[in-house]
A and B are shown apart, each in its own frame.
Chain A
């Protein structure tokens, strides 16, 4: 039997679901993830051109890179022609290349797609001896995701309904090109039939099916990578109307980063180490999970050893050394993310790492979290009100606010929506999988 799935190719997270007309099954394609139904939109390409996605990609990236040997060689990268009044010569350009680099980690594939894949803006990247276009990178990710879904279902998948933002870009030509690149990548990944549905529509599909009369609906899709807002009139199939859409690049990953910066960096010596740029650089890199493995160099270890011996915050720097060199980064970032999720359910949580050389303990409350992300809340409220204004509607004219995405569960934002539109209008959809599930329903209807 031909199987058609719904596939949400998100900026930070992706997912696959299948509907049989009665119920929707979101497939647990990443058992290593905190939420197995969510697959991080991360691609790791090894030197022998093998592709890994999701948590497996992150784990492998850490495994390959923490404490690895590096060897830098000067390689010719090209030539620059220098023209002046009386001179005209070619200047060779050499770059230092780590020839032992075991692979490359790529994030924000969708952003690359949105920024104009194939139009010469962000068209691709060199990966060891090969050049990958953005379409090829997306194909590699979709292909791996499809293989996992087929393994889970035990059957080949032939068709897909893919989610897409209301606008990839403001320029219609760029918007069309981005969709075509995504379509071609899906076809190349082995899907015989590919169609699209808008992500906000997919997110509101459950809700739309319950409507007896048309309503003005605001979709508040607040996930791991971005906040997407869409204001639509739903309830009249075939007569959907988009009033406005907006968004901002603030979401769950920014909150993780904030927690680390404001609460956890002091455990690694922030504020205690001065006039030692080689150490402060290491501390400041901790919030960036993708950078941390790159810090595990012999020079960094030596610098930390020296500072510890000089008794510059030795306990905190020992924590830092252990985090970088004892392969704890993966557990650390997972704990931060898990703590953030827990604070939506309970008033306090614990972030703790223990080892022979590390003892990190941070009791973190919801109030602390809300204070830490207050600036983001203000920015989000501003964008939300701007989008409502652009729709030409007053907040009172919005009949329902459908919130979806993991970050929409954060009580601070539920309260914000309730204060603006009225708490009774705020409806919760499946936080982590509503877009995926909606796409699966659409896939079933159009199979």
Chain B
């Protein structure tokens, strides 16, 4: 680093201009301090290498990458054919499935026949749905999807969608399969499609009481390895509502049961748990989903009334901890009107509603926008949507 001939030149400078000594010594001392610091880091690295700790870390990274590769393979039917990747990136190559699940871990799976979708069609009937407690939730995903079962304890378990037994369109709810039974004092919070984990910027975790946090994708290997993602909650009694994969440019809509809507951008959210929407003590979130400016938001109430908002006209919150905007009047709220779900839709998308009477009904988005209501069997318990033929992203 300091060759002798250079040192001689510096000494000559000092001999000719003795005042320069202080400056030269300061430069060299700073450099030596810097090099000593580096040396320490390198020695620590050397110790880690020799002790095998670094090897272990690399092995973990390799196994995580292999896992991601496996997920991608499953999504593309067990192979990674180059032609499919380049010809239709992100497009579902297999049938969509409707999943209806609840906190006990029960998951009803119904494969959708895309050629037979018509407005108003009843897809199935689930007898004996509970009229009290948390209603079941709905999700549509392709057969090759890899799911994470997220539990309220923060535990996660991988579950390939294809591993969930298909159910008969008409069956009793208490006969539906439970692939992973929650532990004592634990409950299934949500199902998270995870096949695109390698393409996401972060996980985004939302609690029922309106708290949100981002989780760096760098932590994905340890999350998968340890099968634990945390609860993302701050308040006692609060629990995870949703965990999804997000990108920095995403915008999210948060819907509360009492009819409040908050729109925010992902970049506003922090990596610590923060209150994103302030809710009354009796209120809680029922849905969180990303949307794009060209879409429309459709919010479903338990009485079958569909509230429609153009996404482009929605106001993005400038700060967190606000109440959000009311979707309907106080009078209606006092009459007991409640939000059961919502989604961002394009004109050719489809909506799915689960009724208290057990019916599962299919509705064209265009009809929902036009009529603003759907016929109700008892009341609506849950609502979701999935893309029509024109959309490339099957996830909502």
Binding between chains A and B: yes
Separation in Å of the A373 CB from the closest CB of chain B?
Answer: 14
Chain B, Cβ-Cβ closest to A354 = B34
Q: Does A34 contact B (CB under 8 A)?
A: no
A403 within 8 A of B: no
Q: How far is the CB of B2 from chain A (nearest CB, A)?
A: 9
Shortest beta-carbon distance from B15 to chain A in Å: 9
| A93 in the interface (beta carbon within 8 A) | no
Q: At the interface with chain A, which of B18-26, B42-50, B78-86, B92-100?
A: B18-26
CA distance A366 to B14 in the complex (A): 10
Chain B proximity mask over A350-371: 1 for CB below 8 Å, otherwise 0: 1000000000010101111001
CA A348 – CA B1 in complex, angstroms?
A: 18
**When the two chains form their complex, are residues A368 and B9 in contact, meaning their CB atoms are under 8 A apart?**
yes
Q: In the complex, what distance in Å separates the CA atom of A347 from the CA atom of B19?
A: 8
Nearest-neighbour CB distance to chain A for B19, whole angstroms, equals 7
Contacts of A368 in B (CB 8 A): 9, 13
CB of B31 within 8 A of CB of A365, answer: no
For residue B28, give the distance in angstroms from its CB to the closest CB of chain A: 7
Residues of B within 8 A of A361 (CB): 1, 31
Q: Does B132 contact A (CB under 8 A)?
A: no
Report whether A367 and B9 are in contact in the complex, using a CB–CB cutoff of 8 Å.
yes
Q: In the complex, what distance in Å separates the CA atom of A361 from the CA atom of B12? A: 20
Given A365-B10, A367-B9, A348–B23 Cβ distance below 8 Å? yes
* Cross-chain contact B13 with A350 (CB below 8 angstroms): no
Contacts A365-B9, A367-B9, A367-B12 given: A347-B28 contact, CB under 8 Å? no
Q: Which residues of chain A have C-beta atoms less than 8 A from B19's C-beta?
A: 347
* A346 within 8 Å of B (CB atoms): yes
Q: Shortest distance in angstroms between B1's beta carbon and chain A's nearest beta carbon? A: 8
Question: Could you say which residues of chain A place their CB within 8 Å of the CB of B20?
Answer: 346-348, 365-366
Does B335 sit at the interface, judged by CB under 8 A? no
B21 to chain A: closest residue by CB: A347
Establish whether residues B9 and A348, one from each chain, have CB atoms under 8 Å apart when the complex forms: no
B9 touches A350 (CB 8 A): no
B residues in contact with A366, CB < 8 Å: 13, 17, 20
> A348 contacts B27, CB within 8 Å?
yes
B185 at the interface (CB under 8 A from A): no
Which size class do B's interface residues fall under?
Answer: 10 to 19
Q: How far is the CA of A371 from the CA of B16 in the complex (A)?
A: 13
A interface, over-half SS: mixed
Q: Which residues of A contact B1 (CB under 8 A)?
A: 361
Question: Within 8 Å CB of A347, what residues of B?
Answer: 13, 17, 19-20, 23-24
Binary interface encoding of chain A residues 315-351 relative to chain B, with 1 for a CB under 8 A from any of its CBs, else 0 = 0000000000000000000000000000000111010
Flag if B13 contacts A367 (CB, 8 Å). yes
Judge whether B16 and A367 touch: CB under 8 Å.
Answer: yes
Contact B12–A346 (Cβ < 8 Å)? no
Q: Please, which residue of chain B has its CB at the minimum distance from the CB of A359?
A: B38
Residues in B with CB closer than 8 Å to A350 are 27
A346–B13 Cα distance when bound, in Å, is: 11
Chain B proximity of A193: nearest CB distance (Å): 51
User: In the complex, what distance in Å separates the CA atom of A361 from the CA atom of B27?
Assistant: 10
- A12 smallest CB distance to B (angstroms): 29
> CA separation between A27 and B13, bound complex, in Å?
38
Most central of B6, B13, B23, B28 by chain A CB within 10 Å: B13
Return the chain A residue nearest B16 by Cβ.
A367
CB-CB under 8 A from B31, the residues of chain A are 361, 363
A371 CA to B9 CA, complexed, in Å: 10
Question: Contact mask B165-184 → A, CB, 8 Å, 1/0?
Answer: 00000000000000000000
Tell me the smallest distance from the CB of B24 to a CB of chain A, in Å: 5
**Residues in A neighbouring B16, C-beta threshold 8 A:** 367
Residue of B nearest to A371 (CB): B9
Name the residue on A nearest B3 (C-beta): A266
Smallest Cβ-Cβ distance to A347: which chain B residue: B20
Instruction: Answer whether A348 and B12 are a contact pair too, CB < 8 Å, given A361-B31, A366-B17.
Output: no
Jot down 9 A-B pairs with beta carbons below 8 A, ordered by A.
A347-B24, A348-B13, A348-B24, A363-B6, A363-B27, A365-B13, A365-B20, A366-B17, A367-B12
Given A363-B31, A365-B10, A367-B9, 12 other A-B residues pairs in contact with their CB atoms under 8 A: A347-B17, A347-B20, A347-B24, A348-B27, A363-B24, A363-B28, A365-B9, A365-B20, A366-B20, A367-B16, A368-B9, A368-B13
Residues of A at the B interface (CB closer than 8 Å) are 346-348, 350, 361, 363, 365-368, 371
The 4 tightest CB contacts between A and B, nearest first, are: A347-B20, A365-B13, A367-B13, A347-B17
